[in-house]
A = this chain, B = another copy of it.
Amino acid sequence: MTAPAPKHDVFQAIADPTRRKLLQLLVDREMPVTVISGYFPMSRTAVSKHLRVLADAGLVKERKVGRETRYRLDPDPLLELKRWLAYYERFWENKLMALKHYVESDERDGDVPAGALGAVELQTKE
């Protein structure tokens, strides 16, 4: 049991605004589908499908209670996103540094900004 057939990853899951709202709604409380769908301007079935996508990505857990199914957030998969993002974080700093250098020098002949950024650091990961 390594990979339980993902079919939907975190990146896809959070791409849709409705699904991001869903995550936020379920962040601290568990809710059944009918209640959840009350917060959205679409059919219950549509909401249910969004919940399925989120569940596929592991961002939401379902629990059956009597005739209702309650959903709640599971933030774990967001770690992958965090890791992905972390890789790019240093480039904010680099960009600032490059800008600084550019402002301090006067070699702005029209193609400097890119050059300033070009060779700051090199890294090929994967």
Tell me the smallest distance from the CB of A38 to a CB of chain B, in Å: 15
Taking a contact as CB atoms closer than 8 A, the residue among B14, B81, B118 that contacts A28 in the complex is B118
A92 touches B75 (CB 8 A): yes
Q: Judge if A11 is at the interface, Cβ distance under 8 Å.
A: yes
Q: Judge if A27 is at the interface, Cβ distance under 8 Å.
A: yes
A binding-site residues for B, Cβ under 8 Å: 11-12, 14-17, 20, 23-24, 27-30, 63, 65, 70, 72-76, 78-79, 81-82, 84-85, 87-89, 91-92, 95, 111, 114, 117-123, 125-126
Q: How many copies does the complex hold?
A: 2
> Using Cβ atoms and an 8 Å threshold, which residues of chain B touch A73?
88, 91
A121 CA / B121 CA spacing, docked (Å)? 42
Taking a contact as CB atoms closer than 8 A, the residue among B12, B27, B91 that contacts A88 in the complex is B27
